[in-house]
Amino acid sequence: MVNFRTPSKNRAVFLDRDGTLMDEVNFCDDPSKVHAIAGAAECLTELRRHGWLNVMVTNQSGIGRGLFTVAAYQAVNAELFRQLGGAIDATYFCPDHPDKETARRKPGTGMIEEAKRDYGIAIDESWFIGDKDSDILCGRNAGCRTILVLTGYGRNHRDCGPHFVARDIVEAAQIVIGETK
């Protein structure tokens, strides 16, 4: 877990990384391949303005598979955070191999539970935005409202039972703000 600031907020938007906040790059280990989704920085800033904590929750099995190191993961994140203008409040990652079923690896809710503990987040007032069925199931298992974005792998996961479907993170943020006014 990385804390960027200590917020006084108690509701969050949990965000997947690859395919949701940045273009999907299979097992991204190179900061030069990082391209934030167009409009992501602005919409995350808008979510903050409306009182949301932006928490990135990401499976990173490339570490567990030996494809890249934690340092490479952190370098990719640093570039993404730069492109997002510092609009991520905290990040949690799970390096576990998918063959290992763990509470932290999505669709498990361990990372959300850690954020809840660390920030006093009201999960029933929170959202989960992602591009895979494991993201939506994680959010649902935790008790969040969910939005599937059609970027990344989203088009292949339309039937995973999200509360909403959005074109991208920008439209997803508009849904969150519009549904909670």
> pLDDT digit string (tens) for 137-149?
999 999 999 999 9
Look up 16 and say whether it is catalytic.
Answer: yes
Residue 72 has pLDDT above 50, yes or no: yes
Q: Domain extents for the chain?
A: 2-158+169-179
- The number of angstroms, rounded, from the C-alpha of 29 to the middle of its chain's C-alpha atoms is 18
Catalytic residue among 16, 89, 96, 131: 16
User: What pLDDT sits at residue 10?
Assistant: 86
- The number of angstroms, rounded, from the C-alpha of 58 to the middle of its chain's C-alpha atoms is 6
**Mean pLDDT throughout 42-66?**
97
6-52 tens-digit pLDDT: 444 589 999 999 999 999 999 999 999 999 999 999 999 999 999 99
73-106 tens-digit pLDDT: 999 999 999 999 999 999 999 999 999 889 999 9
Look up 118 and say whether it is catalytic.
Answer: no
Residue where the block lists tokens 């959005």: 166
- The number of angstroms, rounded, from the C-alpha of 177 to the middle of its chain's C-alpha atoms is 17
Q: Do the beta carbons of residue 13 and residue 52 sit within 8 Å? A: yes
Catalytic residue among 18, 96, 133, 135: 18
User: What pLDDT sits at residue 100?
Assistant: 83
- Six-digit token pair at 110? 């361990």
Cα–Cα–Cα angle for 81, 33, 129, rounded to 5 degrees:
50
Name the CATH architecture for the domain at 2-158+169-179.
3-Layer(aba) Sandwich (3.40)
User: What pLDDT sits at residue 8?
Assistant: 45
User: What pLDDT sits at residue 2?
Assistant: 52
**Cβ neighbours of residue 63 closer than 8 Å, sequence gap 6 or more:** 69, 70, 73, 95
User: What pLDDT sits at residue 1?
Assistant: 53
